[in-house]
Amino acid sequence: MAHRFELQPRAPRRSRPRAGGGFVRGLISGILAFVALAAFGLGGGLIGYAVIAADLPAPDELTSRASSFQSTRIFDRNGELLNETFDPNAGRRQVVPLDRISPYLIQATIATEDANFYRHRGIDPVALLRALYYAVQEGDVVSGASTIPQQLVKLVFLSPERSITRKVKEAILSAEISRRYHKDQILELYLNELYYGNLAYGADAAAETYFNKDVSELTLAEAALLAGLPQLPAYYDPYTHPDRAKARQGVVLSLMVENGYITPEQADAAWLEPLSYAPLSYEMKAPHFTLYVRQQLESLLGPEALYQTGLNVTTTLDLSLQEMAQQIVQEQVNRLADRNVSNGALVALRPNTGEILAFVGSADFDNVEIDGQVNMALAPRQPGSAIKPFVYLAAFAQPDKPLAERWTPGTLVADIEEAFPDGANPPYVPTNYDNREHGLVTVRTALANSYNIPAVRALQTVGLPNFLELARRLGITTLTRPDYGLSLALGGGEVPLLELTGAYAVLANSGYRVPPVAILRITDSEGRVLCEMNSDRPCQPADAGQVVDPVDAFLITDILSDNEARSPTFGPNSVLRLNRPAAVKTGTTNDFRDNLTVGYTPQLVTGVWVGNSDNSPMRDISGVSGAGPIWNQFMTAALVNEPVQEFTPPPGVRRFEVCADTGTLPSPACPETRQYWFAEDRPPLPPEKDLYQIVRLDRTSGRLATEFTPPEAIEEKVFKIYPEPYREWAEAHGIPQPPASPEETFAFAPELFIRQPVEGEVVGGVVTVVGTANVPEFDHYELSYGVSHDPGAFSPPIGPAPEAARQPVLDGVLGQWDTRSLGNGPHTLRLVVYDRAGAMYETRVRVFVEQPTPTPPPTATWTPVPQDTPTPPLPTAIPTEVPTETPTAVPPVTEAPPTDTPTVEAPTATPAPTEVPTEAPTESPGDGPTPTWTPLPSPEADAGSILTTTVTLTGTEVLTGGPP
């Protein structure tokens, strides 16, 4: 049982009474107890030491056991042998005496691995106690601090497992061999036993492998680099990770200065010395993948496992796909030689399992001129625009923001140049690959066509910390610099192709990450299974899990698989289009130093890189023209026997009909619509947010119409309305914008009406027209009339005087209408008002003109009173005077004014006589005789209305009425 040893607070001292000899007896008892416990502990320790030592191999076997070797064989997934390690004694291991090894390498190794080597007796107690303490605390060995003898024991005697028991055994054997062997013997064995990576066992093999020279000829710079490799040969591999190897060299040089082996000046000179690595030469299939598997084995079981335990390793690689991929990469690189393209790489994975099916590290592993041994599938390079899908993915996620602020495929982004206040390198002014601006575009358009400026805006919205956290969850480990700026949205950070392809696999797998896997199963020389994929002991424990919302992953996939959306930039039949649904993205870095194409179907994801290992620029080669053909050919061939599969929409998404290039629900003005996927909780914006809107304009001034603008002065036009910050850009690029302010002329509603005469009234003589004539920007008004109620033409203005007509009238006299010259019947009176811009407003009133008919003078009559109606007393008879002459008729109004009409006075002693036709008198019941006159009805009069007016006839006011 493990115990934790912690310092406990000291108990407060208590005063005790003196007890004479009791104190002495207690002291003696305590001393005896301590001695007894110490003796017991020492005895137990000696017994334990003896028991463990008896179970260990004899230290005298150290020399005979050194350099023992068993082959490790590596197979593809179908059992095809990729590589079998050779006997190092016959090939890449040459035992050399210590005096033949460069002193620089000896000093560098001691300074790095065991600075007290010549002073301790096999173990370093301080380092051991520290390692044991952390092992007890954590339940595992987390701190090394092994001495050179301990490491030699581990290499020669012990199995590769890590445990506390093994650490004890290691210490005991280290002490024993340090007691029996001279320090120089131990150091010589150690330097000949170390694994330096790339199948180099021992210092001499390492010198030959990396620098093609004898170990005695190593310079300080070369020795410092080699001394740093054994701790983690795969991690510091100078062919795969030259930057890591160089940094490790600097650590070793610092340790040599610290331990007094060299001066700071020597260290500086060694650091500046250029290193030239010899090319590797192996007999193996899929060499970069095989070496990658070896690195995985080193990480899992330790370097010694490769040549001591006789492993059989079954990998995920499909050799037939691998050979096809290698050929496609090499052929395309050769075709691009005139564009200064010398190298390429490819990685293909199964997204749902992470299994690596093809892994091409370079166009030609054996070609020294292109640095073919450098594994470009693992070398961090700038991904260019291939990183953009994850920038937009972060904008879709934004878990700290409300749903309304999270981006969607329909979010509008300004693809308009701007100086960004980038904290790293202000100001930052990105431009597009085509050196054009495209205005306000949706996220779908921006990502599908790989526009740069919108991606920078997206990263600015998301924030660098949030994006880097997402990249980490996707399995990208290399974005660790502290000085990133917004250029990271365009691929300003370096990412290995394997990690980038693995990140795309997350999208293909609905947001669920399964890290790339290279090893399916490992068995030992006796066939025992050490580990196996999809068992309780996997060879590469996968940190798998749902790292991205399936809805967001699907929305990105939907955009990347939309061939129509990317056609404006790439065309409808580019190499990005397969014979099945496929999502794909390209990337091209500045100066054409790197270009990539990464894409996937539900069954397969493939990433391709094209460029030069030395980072020299290509000539005018983009991701679609450089890496794209490789991606297309490989995906087409690899999927030829796979069923065609659609990307399955997850729960939580729905198709909406939206305006094609604005991403909102379509407004009535939207010119074209499409059906696109959106998250149900983040639907498209409503139609009123559409850029396309119908705008009402004043047709005269061209400004916005107001509520008071007359309908006849309004015209409607469709505009694509940009927000205020971008209106000027839109107008400069031929996108008309509506006026910003309304027409000031129409500050109030036009007021014009005729109050008198009223609609349908019967008029005659000179009619006083009363009403209102007032409009914004008033100029003048006119009165006119037309014959009929639907005249085809109107008379010239009939009033008022020009001076008077230039003043607005508010419920006053508009003018006089002389109807005396007009014939009887329907007429229309029209009021027209003009503003200063020449616009006219009008109103009309339909009336009936009726002129009085000339009649004889009135004749007095007597009308008897009906018997049933009481009446006041009346004269028994009223004599009727009949003039001896015919009275003069009322002249027509066209011949003389009304004042010249002769009148006939009625008798004052009798009621007013009634004007009746001369042919017959009329009788009237009621109060007595009532004089009346009934005109003939007009055929055009409204039969449902009664029109009345007053007419003065022979001095008597007579009420006339229309037809009943």
Closest CA to 503 of 299, 354, 679: 354
Between helices 103-113 and 220-227, what is the axis angle to 10°? 40
**714 sits in which H/E element:** strand 714-720
Neighbours of 47 (CB within 10 A): 10
Are 453 and 416 in contact by the 8 Å Cβ rule? The answer is: yes
C-beta contacts of 561-569 below 8 A and 24+ residues apart: 561/647, 562/444, 562/448, 565/444, 565/445, 565/448, 565/449, 566/448, 566/449, 566/450, 568/445, 568/449, 569/434, 569/448, 569/449, 569/450
Give the separation between CA 680 and CA 684, rounded to whole angstroms: 9
Please give the Cα distance from 172 to 49 (Å, whole number): 7
Between CA 36 and CA 862 the distance in angstroms is 166
Q: SS in 3 state form for 170-197?
A: HHHHHHHHHHHCCHHHHHHHHHHHCECC
Tell me how far apart the alpha carbons of residues 135 and 141 are, in angstroms, rounded to a whole number: 5
- Judged by phi (left if over 0) then psi (alpha if -120 to 50, else beta), residue 197 lies in left
What SS3 string covers 31-91?
Answer: HHHHHHHHHHHHHHHHHHHHHHHHCCCCHHHHHHHCCCCCCCEEECCCCCEEEECCCCCCC
Comparing CA positions, the residue from 113, 137, 611, 128 lying closest to residue 336 is 611
Other C-beta atoms closer than 10 Å to the C-beta of 725 total 10
d(CA 737, CA 716): 13
d(CA 159, CA 136): 21
For residues 826 and 848, is the Cβ–Cβ distance under 8 A? yes
Question: Which residues, in sequence order, are CB contacts of 564 under 8 Å at separation 6+?
Answer: 572
Q: Annotate 132-161 with b (16+ C-beta within 10 A) or e (fewer).
A: beebeeeeebeeebbbbbbbbbbbbbbeee
**What CA–CA distance (Å, rounded) separates 397 from 116?**
54
Q: What is the DSSP letter of 529?
A: E
Half-sphere exposure of 238 toward its Cβ, with a 13 Å CA cutoff? 25
Which structure tokens are listed for 308?
A: 């001591």
Pairing label, strands 840-849, 762-763: parallel
Tokens found for residue 793: 């033409």
**Residues whose CB falls within 8 Å of the CB of residue 388, separated by 6 or more in sequence, listed in order:** 447, 450, 455, 489, 490, 585
- CA torsion 207-208-213-215 (nearest 10°) is 40
- Cβ–Cβ < 8 Å for 102, 215: yes
**Contact between 223 and 104 (Cβ < 8 Å):** yes
Residue 374's identity, in one-letter code, is V
67, 102, 113, 499: the active-site residue: 113
Q: Determine which one of 102, 178, 385, 625 is catalytic.
A: 385
Distances (CA, A) of 922 to 591, 818, 882, 914: 115, 34, 17, 9
Q: How far apart are CA 844 and CA 185, in angstroms?
A: 124
564 is catalytic: no
Q: Is 343 helix (H, G, I), strand (E, B) or coil?
A: strand
Catalytic site residue 724?
Answer: no
- Give the three-state DSSP class for 916: coil
Residues in the chain: 964
The catalytic site residues sit at 113, 385
